[in-house]
Amino acid sequence: MNRRLPRMVLPLFLVLGCAASGASFRPIESIPEGKAVVYIYRPNSLIGGGIRYHVAVGNQRIVYLIRGGYFPYLAEPGETEFWARTEAKETITSDFKAGEVYYLKGTVGIGLAVGRPRFEFVSQEIGAEEVAKCKLLPAAQGNASE
Amino acid sequence: MRAYGCGRGLVASLVVALTGCTTLVKFEPEPPTVVGELRLTGRVEYNGNPEYLPGTLVVVEPSSDSSTPVFVYRHDVRYRLSSVAAIWNPLLLFGFRGVGIDVTASGLLEIKKNDRVVKRYDATCVVRMRRSIWVWGAPSQSELRREGLLAVRKMIEAQMTQDRELLEDLLVRAHQARWTSAWEDYDEQTTSENGSTALPRARLRR
């Protein structure tokens, strides 16, 4: 029985994955002039917890989004498209205004082989409450390829 | 009889499987397919993507003249994802479209003259996308947003075209009347001063 236990627990860890472990949430105090802040975050949910994905703008990777993590992205004003890919690509676009704060929530939706990325811009109330429970993720390096 | 039943089952399975391979995109309401011709000239206050601006508006250079019509256009988009509970729905495996996104696009156009709103147009369109888990090339949220904003643009263009007479009276004829009147006043003044009207007319023409 004792020998079977690690074999049963290991796949569970692989499925759930590890949650973010960086610094606790700290809001950006002063937004740089001519920029908007987009908090890209993923709630610490067990559903699809083992699925991780890069969030990118154009061909620039922004953050490797894992559950319980967030990243503050400084966006140019105007129309910006965020995207991510697992077994399928998902994109979301919004218009940003300089000096404003936005909350982009990433989750995992149902897929055939693996979960697919899902994005949603949430309200200030919901976003501020959920992102406060997340840990800071490091900025992603390199270019993203579609 | 047994073979017949088996055939029916096969056909039903094929129908379900093939249905599951398609994506359903529905507009509520459907945008108009034909929009009449109307062009209004004025100053446009809009800093979004020009693709979403109603084609009935023609941009002119900024002018300090308060009688120049001003078109203020704003749009907004809301996304709504379908319920997470769908994950547990076993019918998804059989090609049922249980995964989806609703994108609500809305637009508001205000026409101002002499710093006063003289006419207001608004439109809202919900784009509903439903797909099964067997679909890989379904439209993304960005694509649905674009479709929604283009539908809103068409709806506002159609509303404006229906009001053609009113808008032309309100903006074009009133503007022309004002210039004609100013022209005549100026004409009389300059003719009485030096007998020549050529230079002032050229100055007035824009």
Q: What is the pLDDT of residue B137?
A: 76
Distance separating alpha carbons of residues A80 and B148, to the nearest angstrom? 17
Query: Is A95 in Cβ contact with B48 (below 8 Å)?
Result: yes
Structure tokens at B35: 């929009």
Q: What is the pLDDT of residue B197?
A: 38
Number of domains in chain A: 1
**Helix ranges (DSSP H) in B124-206:** 141-162, 164-167, 174-194, 198-204
Residue A81's pLDDT band, with cuts at 50, 70 and 90, is very high
Would you say the ipTM is above 0.85? no
The tally of CA atoms less than 13 A away on the side-chain side of residue A2 is 0
Asked whether residue A116 is domain-assigned, the answer is yes
Would you give the end-to-end CA distance of chain A in angstroms? 46
Query: Is A112 in Cβ contact with B146 (below 8 Å)?
Result: no
Does the pLDDT at position A144 exceed 90? Answer: no
Which member of B77, B79, B140 has the closest CB to residue A89?
A: B140
Asked whether residue A57 is domain-assigned, the answer is yes
Q: What is the pLDDT of residue B192?
A: 46
Q: Which one of A100, A108, A112, A123 makes the best mutation probe of the B interface by having the most chain B beta carbons within 10 Å? A: A112
Asked whether residue A141 is domain-assigned, the answer is no
The pTM of the full predicted model, rounded to 2 decimals, is: 0.76
φ, ψ for residue A74, nearest 5 deg: -90, 110
Domain that holds residue A70: 4-136
For chain B (206 residues), the mean pLDDT of every run of 10, in chain order, is: 63 62 86 82 88 85 73 93 66 74 94 88 94 80 95 94 83 58 52 41 32
Query: Which residues of chain A lie closer than 8 angstroms to B141, CB-CB?
Result: 90-93, 119
Which member of B77, B133, B146 has the closest CB to residue A110?
A: B133
Structure tokens at B77: 């988009």
Q: Which one of B46, B133, B134, B143 makes the best mutation probe of the A interface by having the most chain A beta carbons within 10 Å? A: B133
Does the pLDDT at position A53 exceed 70? Answer: yes
As a whole number, mean pLDDT of residues A7-35 equals 74
Asked whether residue A76 is domain-assigned, the answer is yes
Q: What is the pLDDT of residue B109?
A: 95
Asked whether residue A143 is domain-assigned, the answer is no
User: What share of chain A in percent tops pLDDT 70?
Assistant: 86
Handedness of CA B26, B29, B35, B39 (dihedral sign): negative
Asked whether residue A146 is domain-assigned, the answer is no
pLDDT tens-digit map of A22-49: 788 989 889 999 999 999 999 987 777 7
